[in-house]
Amino acid sequence: MATENKILILGPTGSIGRHIVWASVKAGNPTYALVRNTPGNVNKPTLVAAANPETKEELIANYQSLGVILLEGDINDHETLVKAIKQVDTVICATGRLLIEDQVKIIKAVKEAGNVKRFFPSEFGLDVDRHDAVDPVKPVFDEKASIRRVIEAEGVPYTYLCCHAFTGFFLRNLAQVNTTDPPRDKAVILGDGNVKGAYVTESDVGVFTIRAANDPNALNKAVHIRLPKNYLTQNEVISLWEKKIGKTLEKTFVTEEQVLKDIKESSFPHNYLLALYHSQQIRGDAVYEIDPAKDIEASEAYPDVPYTTADEYLNQFV
């Protein structure tokens, strides 16, 4: 159903931004994308590239064919940013981790424009107010939390989107570092493998984000995507895969002490991915109770939205 909610996506060619653009168009929202006049990043980490094969140039051509309104600009160019924001109702930021702190510039532009009904800061991970992560991801989560505090202090209407583990980063390789496909012989499991994690495809994140953007009840709340069939322990994930390939994997369980040592001794992106896996598989950062006064559980608020289950997702690798 068409809607008059005009949505602007910042970071529209990133690993999650592209899915938000597609979901917005499909939902019938007038969709705008702020695009920088710079070449796309061709040096993406292998896992990121595998999960998001489209180039920036291919995406822009696709957006044009879909009727997306492309606006040239940059979050560091205040004048063009304000001009873009004045044309829409909702602003969704999906820029990468290196631009988190730059969102104060977006908040300033939103305040100056004075017309925005909702701002989604770039989160799209765990709930940054509920985590026990370690370096090098902890500073990133802390930066995201600080942006929340600026939004709230400035009185900007918001929605925070907490989706936890993208299947393209956590499930396509069963959280095995240095590979882009599920293992067929051996699997490394952090901790005892019995801690619940929340998985969701990037495409479904886009759908739930736009659903929340069009939902008045999500105003000034955090939307949590923990889908029942995808709320699984690592042992359950491995079991799903073993059933598909008809084989039992040789499992190595790694203690938290060893994981922390490996994180400290590794370089990027190995240490970053390992810290993310540690956050979910050992610290249990997807396990918590929500507060109805400030939180929404997506599966309960939008039960009619279909989603790809972890079991279905893994079929492509058999």
Which active-site residues does the annotation give?
Answer: 144
The full DSSP string for the chain is ------EEEESTTSTTHHHHHHHHHHHT--EEEEE-SS-------HHHHHH----HHHHHHHHHHHT-EEEE--TT-HHHHHHHHTT-SEEEE---GGGSTTHHHHHHHHHHH---SEEE-S--BS-TTS----TTTHHHHHHHHHHHHHHHHHT--BEEEE--EEHHHHTTTTT-TT-SS--SSEEEEETTS-SEEEEE-HHHHHHHHHHHHT-GGGTTEEEE---GGGEEEHHHHHHHHHHHHT-PPEEEEE-HHHHHHHHHH--TTHHHHHHHHHHHHTS-TT-----TTTEEEHHHH-TT-----HHHHHGGG-
Report the distance separating Cα 308 and Cα 285, nearest Å: 22
> For residue 61, how many other CB atoms are within 10 A of its CB?
12
- Is the N-terminal amide bond of 183 cis, ω within 30° of 0? no
Q: Which two tokens stand for residue 39?
A: 């070449």
Q: Which two tokens stand for residue 121?
A: 């800061």
Do 90 and 158 touch, CB atoms closer than 8 A? Answer: no
Report the distance separating Cα 49 and Cα 55, nearest Å: 9
